[in-house]
Amino acid sequence: MKIALCTDIGEFHANRVLNREWAKRFPGAAWMPQFADLVKLDGYETVTGDVALAKVKKGKWSAKEVLVLQELDSGLGRELIGRGAKPAVLTGLESPLFAYAFYDKLPELAPVFERRVLFGGAIKTFAADSGRNYRLRFPSYHLEDVLPLLPWAERKNLVMVAANKHFQPAEAETAAGVQSGTRALAIQSELHTKRLEAIEFFASAGLDLFGYGWNEPGRLPRYWQERLRDTLSHLHPRPCADKIRTIAAYKFALCFENLSYPGYITEKIIDCFVAGVIPVYLGAPDVQEHITGEAFIDVRQFGSWQNLALYLDSLTEKEAADLLGSGRRFLAGAPGRLHSFAGFARFIRDIMLTKDGYEDESAK
């Protein structure tokens, strides 16, 4: 049997994403070569969707012997399934703020697949008479990436690593002819604005800002270009070569998701646990169903940035050690290991090829 890993990201095609060094270039992709190595032991050959489709078209492979492992609404996956390939697993690792077309189609697309691995909010948007749904734990780190904890007194105060981006206003979407119910709802829950507010407030409190694109103010709405001009000039934000090692030198890291969406927990908070820095988190409304609240600081518990700042300043070294210890215990447990590339690869292999022991999210 063959497995076609179907995605429409061109940089992944021609089996490139199955190369470990190449996959490291793309956040969240490093599980794919590990998955290919795992299923090879079960007698399965893994190729990218474009390679599989070319072989089917040339008559070298029968589509019926191909299992489709598809990310989002891949055209390659759809064509393979249309030719007779088996729709085995559907994944959706992207935010509904950007992959809104996929989420719009999900009620029709998801039931086609035997297994669906999606954020919790997405699972609630469709009904299926067969198959199983699984909570997506975003693949984020290599097990060997976990760093030793630095002494508290040797750390700098506060850091944020985030690219300069902002959702496009709804008016621009309408002018461009884009109409999406998912997009409209996602914009109501976007957190880009909160991220910018935090940068503005904490700039005078020792914040260090890293990330791409901050020297391009045109990426932001005009209002924020004006509002942050002096702040960004003061902060001198810049890219960092190694996010984990960069944030490991700090006490706290501001980590805000793109939007507030059930189950949408990405690498941002996991990176903090790996680095050994306390996450100051804003994102999934149900985050405490996924990650113990003793492992991070929840921005929602504070009525203002000032209150949050006072809390950070008052945190004792003992309280900090408790938070850091909880984060490390989360990583060491079964849910935390599923966020590792190796753990996620094994999870996908198990639900795809064997009788799995993982919880069916739709049974809740």
Query: What are the tokens at 237?
Result: 């934000």
Long-range contacts of 170-178 (CB under 8 A, 24+ apart): none
Same domain assignment for residues 181 and 47? no
Write out pLDDT tens, residues 205-233. Answer: 999 999 999 999 888 999 999 999 999 99
Same domain assignment for residues 101 and 168? no
Report the alpha-carbon distance of residue 258 to residue 192 in Å, rounded.
6
In terms of Cα–Cα distance, which of 7, 162, 13 is closest to 89? 7
Residues 6+ apart with CB under 8 A from 49: 4, 5, 6, 7, 13, 68, 70, 74, 76, 77, 80
SS (H, E, C) 251-313: EEEEEECCECCCCCCCHHHHHHHHHCCEEEEECCCCHHHHCCHHHCEEHHHCCCHHHHHHHHH
Report the alpha-carbon distance of residue 363 to residue 138 in Å, rounded.
21
Same domain assignment for residues 65 and 105? yes
Same domain assignment for residues 183 and 311? yes
Domain count, the chain: 2
Same domain assignment for residues 164 and 121? no
> Sign of the C-alpha dihedral, residues 211, 215, 218, 224?
positive
Same domain assignment for residues 305 and 354? no
Report the alpha-carbon distance of residue 109 to residue 218 in Å, rounded.
36
Same domain assignment for residues 10 and 115? yes
Contact 156/250 with Cβ under 8 angstroms?
A: yes
Same domain assignment for residues 132 and 162? no
Task: Give pLDDT, residue 171.
Answer: 45
Residue 17: which domain range? 2-139+340-363
Same domain assignment for residues 313 and 355? no
Cα separations (Å) of 283 from 186, 199, 261, 265, 310? Answer: 12, 16, 7, 7, 21
Task: Give pLDDT, residue 356.
Answer: 82
Task: HSE, CB side, 13 Å, CA atoms: give it for residue 316.
Answer: 3
Q: What is the mean pLDDT of each run of 10 residues along the chain (364 residues)?
A: 97 98 93 98 98 98 98 98 98 95 97 97 95 97 97 98 80 57 93 97 96 92 94 95 97 97 98 98 97 96 97 98 98 96 97 88 73
Same domain assignment for residues 210 and 304? yes
Same domain assignment for residues 12 and 76? yes
Task: Give pLDDT, residue 168.
Answer: 65
Same domain assignment for residues 20 and 164? no
